[in-house]
Amino acid sequence: MTRTQTSSSLPVTLLQLMTGHWVTQAVYIAAKLGVADLLAKGLTRCDDLAAATHCDAPSLYRVLRALASVGVFSEVSADSFAITPLANLLRSGTPESMRALAILYAEESYWAWGDLLYTVRTGRSAFERQFGMGVFEFFADNPDSGTVFQEAMSALMIRVADAVTSAYDFSAFTTVVDVGGSQGTLLAAILRRNPALRGILFDLPHVVNGAAPVFATSGVQDRCARVAGDFFDRIPPGGDAYILASVLHDWDDSRCATILRHCRTVVPRNGKLLIVEFVLPAGNEPCFGKWVDLQMLVMASGRERSAGEYDALLRAAGFELTRVVPTTAGKSIVEAAPA
């Protein structure tokens, strides 16, 4: 029991924890229906919002009323709502949009979480049990869901990219290779801040094909090459810094060992390997990464790791962990050099 909790408040606290899925689904409804976009366009009455989204007006009102009670939207008068700073993050097409994340966490991901007990009992991915294939196969085979996934990952990486480029000095390098770099959000941010630097984005073909707009918007398209491939087969040479950002947490130790061995074959003697992940603290210290760890367990049988666990993985692959650099985004940069 913490100092701020009393025996009478404990049931309330636990009830809030137990009913968190209510909020998840309500936020999802607002995101899926594009309510924030409609409010931004001037529609405020629930009847008009319901008509625009083909919903039952009384039911939609009850969802919006509940969301307004936690700061997502504001009920300004009977049957009328206004956008709030939180709701603004649910708008589409804005640099800070988290709309795709709200959808991702409440569709396929949410269904997998409903089978968490299976994962805890067996150690196997609930997502694979639900959908009959791995998460990355699923998103490759289902383009609509795959687009949401890529947009959601880019939304997360925007925040991480700002923190990483502020915390780490890339100016000593000549070419950065972003391994499994998705649509290039992090790499574009690094190149934008370091105008003498060149980059290589390496990911699956259907992923890197979507990176061109990101590089063009950032003005770095002339300094960045896109290379298609699978990091379980090979990793392209030519860099003196290699980045694995939100990659290793998708995989178990055996698969991570394969990725790291491929990295070791291309990282030069004076080069660096930079792993951008949550680094889990010991004990009861709060850390969002401990919850992301469960997401990895359910979705892909992956995991977040401690500094000691990264050290062991790196040593086995021929690297030496040189330092861990914290960032303001919660994730850290695990820096390693060839041993």
Q: Please tell me the predicted confidence (pLDDT) of residue 163.
A: 96
Tokens representing residue 190 in the block:
């690094």
302 located within any domain: yes
The CATH number that applies at residue 43 is 1.10.10.10
158 located within any domain: no
Could you tell me where the beta strands, DSSP code E, fall in the chain? 74-77, 80-82, 175-179, 198-203, 224-228, 241-245, 272-277, 319-326, 332-338
| Catalytic (active-site) positions | 249
pLDDT in tens, 103-116: 999 999 999 999 99
Q: How many domains does the chain contain in total?
A: 2
pLDDT in tens, 283-317: 999 999 999 999 999 999 899 999 999 999 999 99
Alpha-carbon span 309 to 265, nearest angstrom: 21
Alpha-carbon span 239 to 175, nearest angstrom: 5
Q: Please tell me the predicted confidence (pLDDT) of residue 26.
A: 98
| 6-20, 236-250, 284-298, range with the lowest pLDDT | 6-20
Q: Which residue has the higher pLDDT, 37 or 8?
A: 37
- Cα 164 versus chain centre, distance: 14
Alpha-carbon span 314 to 325, nearest angstrom: 16
Which is nearest to 88 in space by CA: 75, 78, 99, 79? Answer: 99
Judgement on whether residues 311 and 173 belong to the same structural domain of the protein: yes
Alpha-carbon span 335 to 339, nearest angstrom: 12
Residue ending a domain, among 63, 93, 123, is 93
The CATH number that applies at residue 286 is 3.40.50.150
User: Under a CB-based contact definition with an 8 Å cutoff, are residues 243 and 274 in contact?
Assistant: yes
57 located within any domain: yes
Q: Which residue has the tokens 């913490």?
A: 2
Q: Which domain holds residue 22?
A: 10-93
Which is nearest to 104 in space by CA: 38, 22, 54, 32? Answer: 32
Q: Which residue has the higher pLDDT, 1 or 161?
A: 161
Alpha-carbon span 174 to 198, nearest angstrom: 6
pLDDT in tens, 128-180: 999 999 999 999 999 999 999 989 998 999 999 999 999 999 999 999 999 99
Tokens representing residue 57 in the block:
């007006």
Q: Which residue has the tokens 């008068």?
A: 77
Helix 143-167 vs helix 185-193: angle between axes, to the nearest 10 degrees? 30
Burial class, 323, CB count within 10 angstroms (exposed 0-12 / middle 13-18 / buried 19+) = exposed
Average pLDDT estimate for 19-41: 97
pTM here?
0.91
